[in-house]
Structure 1
Amino acid sequence: MLAPGSILARAECDAQDVLKRVDEPLSGLQQRCGGDIPGVIAIPELLELVRKARSYGFRLARAIAAQDGVEAVTAWVEVEPQENGQCEILVRHWQAIPLVAEDASAADLRRTAIDRHLAELTARLDSAQRVLAVDCESAELSAAAQSMAAGLGRPWTEFLPPESVTHKQPLHWRLLDGTRVVVAGSERPWRVSLVPQLQPGFEPGGFELLLVSDVPASETVGTVPVAEHFARRSLVGQDLAPVLRQPIARIIANAETIRTRLAGPLPDAYAEYAGEIAGAGKLLLGLLEDLADLEAVEADSFSTAPDRIDLSEVARQAAGILNVRAQEKGICVEAPHPAEELPTIAEFRRVLQILLNLIGNAIRYSPECSQIWIRLASEGGRARVTVADQGPGLAAEDQSRVFEKFERLGRNGDGGSGLGLYISQRLARAMGGDLSVESAPGQGARFTLELPLDRPAG
């Protein structure tokens, strides 16, 4: 048994932070963290300590922490700067504790979040894997996106055929999740991630399809236009957004990979830094999307593509998409019953966008363990869907201001741009409807989307 203060290991590094000589157990940790001997110090907190000691010019000592994928290591390390930038490293205490196995479901959720940020094409599927809607962010995939949009109601595998799969389609979704697919006109490799919309005890009610390539585009790509009839070129939507969207998404994905330690062991402090980077990237990406939508809805030539849709089904899909976020706060979202129907004339994608904004706001501003209701009604040729919450509510003077551009009613730090409700109301009116609110302080808020009712012929 070594006496207190005994040296467990010694190491030396040069002015470029390269370990020249190192004893066990430090040498083993260096290699398990991805480093070599000789090689640059691969243990983040040790590297930071060495650089500080060299910069200050005097001896530094402190506890460092590291993870090697199997154990969490805590060690007391002293660093003594020498001539020519070299440093002597002494380890006087070493404790290794086995890491607790990561929860598989939590890891799956994080991987899905990364794929969602990297996806260059997304689609909504029904329970039979038939395409309901498609959204594309890459000109390279525009042909595939247009084919899917023209073939709504058909299995997605008709448009993105899986590689090396000869069985009759569609297969069970678990067999197709993660499979490589062929994308006509693209030389990059692509894979599909299928995110099921699950309810305990039931088969998936639908899926989110994410088309992801692990190889970045070799050149700047554009987006599919918001509408084919968009007459004039838009600065944000067609010039800035295509250039910025993918790099920001990759920053988020890489930061999430670091934060969740999927790329290797990392101290808690560095994981927190990566989390802050990912959070800032998400805010920036959200603002970019809002500005692109703002530019589109304010264009003189903007219009929507009305179709016959079931408002009840769109509401259920929006609630399902945001269900995980609601569960994180213990909030119960009561969506319309599957037997309810409300035929409406509107553009599916725009109605879904509005409802995602309304339900997302309700989740953001409602207290934990509260409830959100989504109710349907029809009267006088109008179809209505109301999103009601148990949040703080709005004063009478704020109920009109809440739909103004960049209006956030004094809120700070919630990540909102103040554009969501403004854009949603503009979209509702472009579809021949409206968006309104009823509220009172302390009594929650009721946002109602009104659209033309689809009346049967005759």
Structure 2
Amino acid sequence: MSGSGAHICRGKSDGRDRLIEADEPLASLQLRIGGELPGLIAIPALLELVRKSRLYGLRLARAIRAQDDVERITAWAEIAPDPDGEGCSISISNWQSDQFRKTETIGEIERRWDIARHLAGLSARLGPKQQILSIECNTPDLMEIAGNMRQGAGQPWTDFVALSGKDHKQPLHWRLLDGSTAMLPGSDRHWTVYLIPLGRPEPGSAGFELHLVAQEPMKEPAPPPTEEDRRETGFTLPLGRELAPVLRQPVARIIANAETIRTQLAGPLAEEYSNYAADIASAGEHLLSLIDDLTDLEVVEREDFQTAPDRIDLTDLARRAAGILSMRAQERGIEVDAPKPDETAPAIGEFRRVLQILLNLLGNAIRYSPENSQIWLRAERDGTVARIIVADQGAGLEEEQRELVFRKFERLGRKGDGGSGLGLYISRRLARAMGGELSVDSAPGQGARFVLELPADIETPD
């Protein structure tokens, strides 16, 4: 043992459970684990104890444990609510630290990660700010939330889950979320959160892997319908629902492994192999996109398909779409001119469906526009109609091509661009389901103007 004994240090928290004062060695541990000073308490066990003491107004004492890259620490923590404020006084005694070899810890952590990847019911690739990039799901009770998270690409994953004991503004530092318990809409099970940081030298600088592992087995499902049931009810199992969960997991694993190779996280690699891994990841992402399109296709073609209309702002959604696809545009030197923050275009539509349409339109514009060109997103209001226009400087469309682009599986002879020919077809059906329309105005050599029209929110003043 090193550092053993009755060493005492003190600290102080505020009404938001931030550590605002701390003696050594508590201050150093707070910073090593990834917290700030002042900043939200980064030691999970201490944070939970302080939070309970503050909420219930009780003096609490308990042994706490923590671990960073080089030490395992145990200590006795005594927490007392501040009678003259909203925070707590913290007293730490019997601080004991056990040093260990870093290589052994890395091996233990990687084995835990491998188990989490294998058992995960839902996995996601996140960006550096924990925003959703891609989702895979292989358990029935998470299909609903997986669909919502997929449509909410670009938002923090914590917007879609309820985290036990985490009532602070989300997302928290990843070390505080790793190992926490989550409740997910559509599932009556508890789920353990595993966050795997990517990137060097700062963990998480290249994003994260998110894996949710069930703490309880799923209840036995109802028996599948028999052939007689199918004949009597006309029940058929949609192709996308059957294949999507089966395909997403292995494809997402291929993408994740290819990205690991491409970014050389597993070690140095010759440039040609790194480029090859990038091609594999790109092909996998195109395949995932096709799977999503096929799933959406079945949804929008159902006779009972309906949207959930609400009051939305088309300019806000246009700015969100531009933000989500900003990196893709920058890679090709394309400038996206989005509506200004003070512009508004109130409309009636389903938030996630309208965002889905705008992501498709803007994604197509970026894909087919020349490098170093410009794309404009403009909003208009015409009586009872609100519209958003996506205009580019691409090659444009012939007159006969303007309706063809909205046909199912139509790609106008393009090959090798990774498109499915379903995006515009699905987008138009979504627009019409919301009482709107999707059209295009274009001419050869003059770019294209895709126009999404929706009912205006007439109760909102211009």
- Shorter-chain TM-score category? 0.5 to 0.7
* Partner Cα separation in structure 2 for residue 189 and residue 384 of structure 1: 43
Give 1:335 shift: 0.8
1:258/1:213 CA distance change after superposition, 3 Å: same
Return the match for 1:286 from 284, 289, 294: 289
Return the match for 1:379 from 379, 382, 396: 382
* Partner Cα separation in structure 2 for residue 140 and residue 455 of structure 1: 39
Does residue 409 (structure 1) correspond to residue 412 (structure 2)? The answer is yes
**Structure exhibiting the larger radius of gyration computed from Cα positions:** 1
Does residue 369 (structure 1) correspond to residue 372 (structure 2)? The answer is yes
Does residue 183 (structure 1) correspond to residue 182 (structure 2)? The answer is yes
1:158/1:140 CA distance change after superposition, 3 Å: closer
AA of the residue aligned to 1:359? L
Aligned residue runs from structure 1 range 317-356, under 5 A: 317-356=320-359
Return the match for 1:314 from 314, 317, 339: 317
The range that moved more, 231-240 or 413-422, is: 231-240
Give 1:369 shift: 1.1
Given the two structures, how large is their TM-score scaled by the length of structure 1?
A: 0.58
* Partner Cα separation in structure 2 for residue 384 and residue 262 of structure 1: 45
Give 1:160 shift: 3.4
* Partner Cα separation in structure 2 for residue 143 and residue 294 of structure 1: 16
The equivalent residue for 1:170 is: 169
Give 1:154 shift: 13
1:413/1:395 CA distance change after superposition, 3 Å: same
1:143/1:329 CA distance change after superposition, 3 Å: closer
1:147/1:417 CA distance change after superposition, 3 Å: closer
Aligned residue runs from structure 1 range 109-148, under 5 A: 120=122, 137=137, 138-141=139-142
* Partner Cα separation in structure 2 for residue 393 and residue 244 of structure 1: 35
* Partner Cα separation in structure 2 for residue 265 and residue 159 of structure 1: 37
Give 1:176 shift: 7.0
AA of the residue aligned to 2:355? L
AA of the residue aligned to 1:282? E
Return the match for 2:431 from 421, 428, 433: 428
* Partner Cα separation in structure 2 for residue 304 and residue 121 of structure 1: 27
Give 1:248 shift: 1.1
Offset from partner CA, 1:354-376 (integer Å, 9 cap, x none): 00000000000111111110000
The equivalent residue for 2:211 is: 213
Residues 307 and 345 in structure 1, CA contact (< 8 A), matched pair in contact too? yes
The equivalent residue for 1:259 is: 262
The equivalent residue for 2:40 is: none
Return the match for 2:241 from 238, 243, 253: 238
AA of the residue aligned to 2:379? L
Aligned residue runs from structure 1 range 63-142, under 5 A: 120=122, 137=137, 138-141=139-142
The equivalent residue for 2:18 is: none
Residues 383 and 453 in structure 1, CA contact (< 8 A), matched pair in contact too? yes
1:212/1:457 CA distance change after superposition, 3 Å: closer
The equivalent residue for 2:101 is: none
AA of the residue aligned to 1:161? L
Residues 190 and 211 in structure 1, CA contact (< 8 A), matched pair in contact too? no
Residues 136 and 142 in structure 1, CA contact (< 8 A), matched pair in contact too? no
Q: How high is the sequence identity, in percent, across the aligned residues?
A: 52
1:254/1:155 CA distance change after superposition, 3 Å: closer
The range that moved more, 302-311 or 265-274, is: 265-274
Return the match for 2:252 from 249, 273, 277: 249
The equivalent residue for 1:160 is: 162
Give 1:263 shift: 1.8
AA of the residue aligned to 1:376? A
Aligned length: 309
1:119/1:438 CA distance change after superposition, 3 Å: farther
Question: SS of the counterpart of 2:454?
Answer: strand
Offset from partner CA, 1:237-290 (integer Å, 9 cap, x none): 321112211221111111111222212233334333323322221121111111
Give 1:350 shift: 0.6
Offset from partner CA, 1:32-54 (integer Å, 9 cap, x none): xxxxxxxxxxxxxxxxxxxxxxx
* Partner Cα separation in structure 2 for residue 456 and residue 442 of structure 1: 40
Residues 319 and 338 in structure 2, CA contact (< 8 A), matched pair in contact too? yes
Give 1:145 shift: 7.5
1:175/1:214 CA distance change after superposition, 3 Å: closer
* Partner Cα separation in structure 1 for residue 148 and residue 255 of structure 2: 30
Give 1:235 shift: 2.1
Residues 391 and 444 in structure 1, CA contact (< 8 A), matched pair in contact too? yes
Residues 336 and 374 in structure 1, CA contact (< 8 A), matched pair in contact too? yes
Q: Which runs of 5+ in 1 are unaligned?
A: 1-114, 196-208, 223-230
AA of the residue aligned to 2:163? P
The equivalent residue for 2:394 is: 391
* Partner Cα separation in structure 2 for residue 380 and residue 288 of structure 1: 39
The range that moved more, 392-401 or 354-363, is: 392-401
Offset from partner CA, 1:117-149 (integer Å, 9 cap, x none): x9947799xx9x9x99x999454446878999x
Residues 177 and 193 in structure 1, CA contact (< 8 A), matched pair in contact too? no
1:143/1:440 CA distance change after superposition, 3 Å: closer
Question: SS of the counterpart of 1:349?
Answer: helix
Aligned residue runs from structure 1 range 192-211, under 5 A: none
1:343/1:210 CA distance change after superposition, 3 Å: farther
Give 1:395 shift: 1.1
* Partner Cα separation in structure 2 for residue 272 and residue 210 of structure 1: 21
Residues 173 and 194 in structure 1, CA contact (< 8 A), matched pair in contact too? no
Give 1:301 shift: 1.4
Question: SS of the counterpart of 1:213?
Answer: strand
The equivalent residue for 1:20 is: none
Give 1:178 shift: 6.3
The equivalent residue for 1:11 is: none
